[in-house]
Amino acid sequence: MSHPGSWLDGAASLVSDASVWINLVATERADVVLRASSVRHLITSTALGELDAGRAKGRRTAIVVAELIEMGLIGEVALGAAEEETFLGLVAGPVSETLDDGEAATIAYALGSGSVALIDERKATALCANQFPSVKVMSTTDLLLSQDVQRALSAEDLADSLFKALLVARMRVPERHLPEVCKWLGPERRQLCQSLPAIWRMPPDARSATI
């Protein structure tokens, strides 16, 4: 397997949207992933509030994230005045041109602090690239496939982590990582991951026939 991950080397910190934390908690190895990566991990108070709202529905992500904050593996951060202005610009306006609060706060904080933003949603990634090209945006998959994490996890544990993030949290995988992720999963497990594009859930022979 290739080891994409040099992007972590120059990152001072990573600020992750709520969906990324949902994916990481689903792996059941979030603490290992956080300890393995040589950067500071952050969550905005806004994104943390979105996770807290899920407690009433029986979702455990906020509980696990709170434990990770208590352990010092995640830092909770608030937006400054300039970042609040960016945030408001991202949540006000037509639906096609705005984001939810957690995504907007994550981008605003990354812009103000120079952090790398971890965001999985396609719309948020595209909007950030168009409006704030200086902000580096990566995904949960980028983190899980990074050199640091691959060194910390056995091949079996990494494959299992990807599978659980896909099966339980329905993680979205950027197109560039689909071949790599599907190799880790193997033919049987990838067929169970409904968040993967249908063509990538097919057996290799069937997929080749459709290309």
C-alpha separations of 188 from 55, 91, 141 in Å: 33, 41, 20
Q: Write out pLDDT tens, residues 57-70.
A: 888 999 999 999 99
Please answer whether residues 33 and 152 qualify as being in contact, where contact means their C-beta atoms are separated by less than 8 angstroms. yes
Report residue 126 as tokens: 């595209």
Please give the Cα distance from 3 to 137 (Å, whole number): 18
Cα–Cα nearest to 144, from 191, 180, 175, 98: 180
What pLDDT does 205 receive?
62
Report residue 79 as tokens: 């937006």
What pLDDT does 55 receive?
80
Residue 129 predicted with pLDDT over 70: yes
Return the DSSP state at 111: H
- Alpha-helical regions (H) of the chain: 18-26, 30-36, 45-53, 61-70, 81-91, 101-113, 122-131, 140-144, 147-152, 155-167, 178-190, 198-201, 204-210
Report residue 113 as tokens: 């602090």
Q: Whole-structure pTM over 0.75, yes or no?
A: yes
Helix 45-53, helix 101-113: angle, nearest 10: 160
Residue 78 predicted with pLDDT over 70: yes
What pLDDT does 44 receive?
98
Please give the Cα distance from 97 to 109 (Å, whole number): 19
Please give the Cα distance from 33 to 150 (Å, whole number): 9
Q: Write out pLDDT tens, residues 96-117.
A: 889 999 999 999 999 999 999 9
Polymer length of the chain: 211
- The full set of domains in the chain, from first to last, is 7-141 (3.40.50.1010), 155-210 (no CATH)
